[in-house]
Amino acid sequence: MNKVSIIGFGRFGAMLHALLSKGFVVDVYDKNSIDNSEINEVSLEEALKNDTIFVAVPIRDFEDLIIDISGKIKSGKTIVDVCSVKVFPKKVMLDNLPVETDIIATHPLFGPDSLKDSGSVMTMESVRNSFERYNFWKNYFESQNITIEEISADEHDMMAARSQGLTHFVGRVIDDFGTNQTRIDTEGYKALHKLVSQTCNDTWDLFEDIQNYNPYTEKMISELNGSFKKISEIIEK
């Protein structure tokens, strides 16, 4: 296997391209023209010819894309999703992709602004008929100093509602509240600035999708609001 495909070339697709290019020739398809001569841009039909196809479109576009390719993809291919939520895309793939299509669910817990940090982690789940290629990709990502956490979609979303959903929610709230750097910034305050920078560099669409497509985030936000009210009431006493 020396060629792979990426469908979707936003900020995350570009980062994924950099990661995969270390070991493979990478074909890329995006619905919008790619203004980069170093990228091997191909048609959707060409992208579907490679054995492994990474889908890196926005979560809100994921179902339409999978339905679109379900009648075009040939048997023996492997689809790898990289969505930030897992229950939703897993169901979409199982419901729509041909039964002979291997499915691997992943979530790289890093992005364009955090891959450079040490300790990168990726979750993986072998969803259907994918044990051989699953192990191949698990070994490849581990060779890139990425720690693999094998976890089910439901368990992922339950934990991610707090670890990821909470992080992005708080980052957006702090950004809306506004913070200014001063000469006496504490390390904690600097950490808040870093949080805002990492979360707000992502698109607003991604933020909304993380909140709306994870079945556990509504409860998280409700509990967060309850804690905010509780602490505020303690201060006011």
Tell me which of 150, 181, 202 is where a domain ends: 150
Residues 8 and 100 in one domain: yes
* pLDDT > 90? residue 91: yes
DSSP 88-136: HHHHHHHHHS-TTSEEEEEEES--TTTTTSSS-EEEEEEEES-HHHHHH
Say what the pLDDT of residue 190 is: 92
Residue 178: left (phi > 0), alpha (psi -120 to 50), or beta? left
Tens of pLDDT, residue by residue over 155-205, are 999 999 998 889 999 999 999 998 888 999 999 999 998 899 888 888 899
Residues 129 and 25 in one domain: yes
Strand duo 121-128 + 147-150: pairing: parallel
Tens of pLDDT, residue by residue over 108-118, are 988 766 665 55
- Total domain count for the chain? 2
pTM for the model = 0.87
Residues 11 and 108 in one domain: yes
Distance of CA 119 to the CA centre of its chain: 17
Tens of pLDDT, residue by residue over 123-155, are 999 999 878 999 999 999 999 999 999 999 999
Domain membership of residue 208 as a residue range: 155-236
